[in-house]
């Protein structure tokens, strides 16, 4: 019964969201597809152009504060450590976390 309700709700809401009032999501995508594609090309293509890569990294550092960068680093490091089978990186991550707690970062 729950699956049927979900299907009915999606059957009613999805077309409304996509094509509803003032064009919906599809209207937005149709109106601004050049901007969206341009941003995707700029963001993903810029990492292969050395000068732009440096400028983008500086921009990211300006937009994201130090605490957020540390949280992102820890999350990526935890995922990387979890994916490996050796214990050396586990000890390294534990040391990094302990050092960050000691310095209250």
- The 10s digit of each residue's pLDDT in 58-85 is 777 887 888 888 888 888 888 888 888 8
Q: How would residue 1 be classed by pLDDT, with cut points 50, 70 and 90?
A: low
- Half-sphere exposure of residue 96, counting CA atoms within 13 Å on the CB side? 14
49 three-state secondary structure: coil
> Quick check: 74 and 66 in contact, CB under 8 A?
no
More confident residue, 45 or 12: 45
Q: Distance between alpha carbon 71 and the CA centroid of its chain, in Å?
A: 13
Query: What is the residue extent of each domain of the chain?
Result: 65-105
When pLDDT is averaged across residues 17-45 and rounded to a whole number, the result is: 74
> Quick check: 42 and 34 in contact, CB under 8 A?
no
| pLDDT at res. 66 | 82
């Amino acid at each position: 019964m729950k699956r049927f309700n979900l299907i009915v709700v999606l059957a009613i809401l999805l077309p409304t969201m996509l094509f509803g009032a003032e064009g919906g999501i599809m209207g937005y995508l149709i109106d601004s597809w050049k901007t969206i594609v341009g941003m995707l090309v700029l963001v993903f293509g810029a990492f292969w152009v050395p000068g732009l890569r440096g400028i983008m990294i500086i921009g990211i550092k300006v937009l994201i504060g130090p605490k957020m960068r540390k949280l992102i680093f820890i999350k990526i490091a935890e995922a990387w450590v979890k994916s490996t089978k050796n214990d050396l990186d586990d000890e390294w991550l534990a040391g990094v976390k302990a050092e960050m707690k000691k310095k209250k970062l």
